[in-house]
Chains A and B, each alone.
Chain A
Amino acid sequence: MSAADWRRAMNLQPRRLGVPPGRGPAPADRAPQARARRFTNPVRVHHLLVLAVLLAYPWFATPFFTYQIGAQALALGLIALSLTFLAGSGGMISLAQMTVAGLAGYMVAIFGTAATDGVTLGWPWWLAVIIGIVIAVLAAAGIGWLSVRTEGIYTIMITLAIGVAFYYLALQNYAVFNGFQGKQKVFPPMLWGIFWRDATPFYYLTLACALAGYLVVVYLLRTPFGIALQGIRDNPRRMHALGFNVTAHRVAAYAVAGVLAAVGGVLFTWYNGLVTPGSVGTGWLINILVIAVLGGLRHPVGAFLGAIVFVLLQNFAIDVIDRERFNLVIGVVFLVIVLFSRDGLLGWWAALSARMSTQRGGSPWTAVRKRSYARSSSPSPSSPS
């Protein structure tokens, strides 16, 4: 048994850098007060500012920025949010989130309307969307049921294998998925006299869904379910001994993430106006991981941060370097982030604000806490069995 195994077996946490041993991370008189305030009124000024900017965004941005940058980043962010939730709070890195999203898109095209040779049942859009999301969530739960039998690295590999298997199924099956062509012209509906694919309405539609997803995740992390899930991430054995059903919690987390991914997938399909095997191929499976890790897995907002950076790079990498070299740019950015930050952009932000707060003469305790947050390793899915 190696030293690392012993430590895991004995449930000892590795000593964190920066925190003096034998002392709590925050003085006793401030902590409860701050925590109570945060719990009763979690909304701060910067939240309202960001919300105001997001709401006003289409009024000062060009349609290109509203649609290609804003709406796309929000839809992709929602899919990445499902991975952030799974990985950050559940400790399970699933590469099959884009598969769930793509499946929802395919189902909307199959049950709704699409201009292709394959099956399109032409049911009303709301029914198609509901059925698509339900099927995708069922598939997500199935993927979860399969992959929670494994841990850590194995989960990544199995979800990757499942995702690629679905890609080949969609590519080779012409009866249902229409093969290489996929489903063309899958558009959001006309409703209340508004065509929802126009830049501004579509932006608000994605914003509403993304905001709802974000709030649901933030809320869920404070519920007993979310707390138990984080406990399972940190030590499944102990949680099992406490009487929690580890497998059920993990599968439930996959299902919840499936809802987020499915909604994001429907939006992304509408955004593109089509869904093809290419949109569930290995490239996109990895891209979702890139987005989530780029932003940071610790907090749900990381997914959207990562998505904004990703979409900006995707659109403006042409100006920096050749059009075809987008993968090189995103790969190098991803490598730099993974090599030099423990937790994506959020990790850098935490390190920066820790440095700033000591320079401004702020409480050294806050600085220490932030620094330990910045330094401690990102949530590792490795766990004893």
Chain B
Amino acid sequence: MTRFWVWFWALLIGVPILAFTGWGLQDNPRLFVITLLNGLTLASLYFIVASGFTLVFGLMRNVNLAHGSLYLLGGYLGFFTAQFTGSWLLALAAGFAAAALVGLAMQVSIFRFMPGQDLRQTLVTIGLSIVIADLLMWAIGAQVHQLSPPAWLDGPLRGLPVIRAYSTYRLSLLPIGILIGVALWLFLNRTRVGMMIRAGVDDRAMLAAAGVNVNLVFATTFAIGAGLAGLGGVIGAVELSMVPGEDTRLLLASLVVVIVGGMGSVVGAAIGAAILGLAETYGLAYAPTYSVVFTFVILVLVLAFRPRGILGRPA
């Protein structure tokens, strides 16, 4: 892309956003900043869930459409663990572990036997998501479950400049998301296993020829990706509450995030999550009837000009 086009796109996208920011700050600064924080914290949750999705896809070319079900599963288990032990951190661990175990079981018992069959794997995950969603509804029921935040994150944080007060838990999602993102980046870029995973993304056959147990790498990646969905479930159980149907919502959010950001890229997932979270909350705050349409328009624009997402690479 030449410098002209870079400027052209920067102006085309930047000027309306700047104009809107100026208008919003001048019109009602409190609403604008609160919406900004809401959007960023929602984006943080989306990022946690979608990064697992994109990790699994990047390595195995397997679109795990049961990802939303793993989110719900992790959330429910976290809820019951918290009820039982009263510890939020234990709930986080339980949600991660449960989703990771189910993901591991899926990888070992099903996906290992159909390598390279993208379509069949996708269909199987659709079937699994139907079954898991219905089993969860059978076991737990359709009523709303909401986890209460831990005591040290409960209540509002007072004395903030423009907005005066904001939910501490909600604000803490931002550092949690950044922490997980940085940890994931370090894991992928600075550790030996991460190196194997990246090598597997680029050339699976060559990695196997180099003497690495590819099945083990696959299983690990799948477990981590699934576990991140479960972790997101526990975190989201406080903010969004657990109810049948949330699985599809988060699955759709993950899909949009990775389509916009680019498949298989953690940084892309972060960008996509930020765009989706901000678009959704600003849409809800300023044009409630058509908030979904904004998401859709963004999707269409990205696809029209970058079919593989903002940071996507050709396979």
Partner of A157, one of B61, B259, B300: B259
Is A31 interfacial (CB 8 A cutoff)? no
> Would you give the 0/1 interface string for A1-23, flagging 1 where the beta carbon is closer than 8 Å to chain B?
11110000000000000000000
**Min C-beta distance of A17 to chain B, whole Å:** 15
Q: Which residues of B contact A327 (CB under 8 A)?
A: 130-131, 133-134
CB distance from B10 to the nearest CB of A (A): 23
Any chain B CB within 8 A of the CB of A216? no
Q: In the complex, are the beta carbons of B123 and A161 less than 8 A apart? A: no
Q: Is the CB of A335 within 8 A of B118?
A: no
A34 interface residue (CB < 8 Å to B): no
User: Once the chains are docked, how many angstroms separate the CA of A377 from the CA of B115?
Assistant: 12
A167 to nearest B CB, angstroms? 9
Closest residue on chain B to residue A297 by CB atoms: B119
* B120 on interface, CB distance cutoff 8 Å: yes
The number of inter-chain residue pairs (CB within 8 angstroms) is: 124
In the bound complex, do residue B259 and residue A152 qualify as a contact, i.e. CB atoms below 8 Å apart? no
**How many residues of B are in contact with the other chain, CB < 8 A?**
48
Min Cβ gap A295→B in Å is 13
* Shortest Cβ distance from residue A289 to the other chain B in the assembled complex, whole angstroms: 7
Q: Which of A48-56, A168-176, A307-315 contacts B (4 or more CB under 8 A)?
A: A168-176
A residues within 8 A CB of B307? 149-150, 154
- Which chain A positions have C-beta within 8 A of B263? 154
What chain A residues lie within 8 Å of B126 (beta carbons)? Answer: 286, 289-290, 334
Q: Please, which residues of chain B bring their CB within 8 A of the CB of A156?
A: 63, 122
Expressed in whole angstroms, the minimum distance between the Cβ of A149 and any Cβ of chain B is 4
Docked complex Cα distance between A169 and B121 (Å)? 30
Whole-angstrom distance from the CB of A230 to the nearest CB of chain B?
17
In the assembled complex, A212 has its CB within 8 A of some CB on chain B: no
Among A157, A173, A290, A380, the most chain B Cβ lie within 10 Å of the Cβ of: A157
Asked whether A222 is an interface residue with its Cβ less than 8 Å from the other chain, the reply is no
List the B side residues contacting A377 at CB < 8 Å.
Answer: 117, 120
Quick one: which of B116, B119, B138, B295 contacts A4, CB cutoff 8 A? B116
CB under 8 Å from chain B, chain A span 149-200: 149-150, 152-154, 156-158, 160-162, 164-165, 168-169, 172-174
B204-220 toward A: CB 8 Å interface, digit per residue (1/0)? 11100000000000000
Q: Tell which of B63, B120, B130, B258 has the most Cβ of chain A within 10 Å.
A: B130
In the complex, the answer to whether A160 meets B289 with C-beta atoms within 8 Å is no
Roughly how many angstroms separate A157 CA and B118 CA in the complex, as a whole number? 13
Q: Which of A1, A3, A153, A290 has a CB less than 8 Å from the CB of B122? A: A153
| Shortest Cβ distance from residue B179 to the other chain A in the assembled complex, whole angstroms | 28
Q: Which of B110, B120, B315 contacts A378 (CB 8 A)?
A: B120
Secondary structure dominating the interface of A: helix
- Docked complex: A324-383 residues within 8 A CB-CB of B: 324-325, 327-328, 330-332, 334-335, 338-339, 377-378, 380-382
Given A2-B205, A335-B127: A325 and B134 within 8 A (CB)?
yes
A146 in the interface (beta carbon within 8 A): yes
Q: How far apart sit A164 and B263, CA to CA, in the bound complex (Å)?
A: 20
Q: Measured between C-beta atoms, what is the minimum distance from A306 to chain B in Å?
A: 13
> What distance in Å separates the Cβ of B94 from its nearest Cβ neighbour in chain A?
25
Contact B259 A154 (CB under 8 A): yes
**A162 in contact with B110 given A154-B259, A156-B63 (CB within 8 Å):** no
| B128 on the A face (CB < 8 A) | yes
Q: Which residues 209-224 of A sit at the B interface, judged by CB distance below 8 A?
A: none
Q: List 20 A-B contacts (CB under 8 A).
A: A149-B304, A149-B307, A153-B61, A153-B119, A153-B122, A156-B122, A158-B259, A172-B288, A172-B291, A172-B292, A289-B126, A290-B130, A327-B133, A328-B134, A328-B135, A331-B131, A332-B131, A339-B124, A378-B119, A381-B119
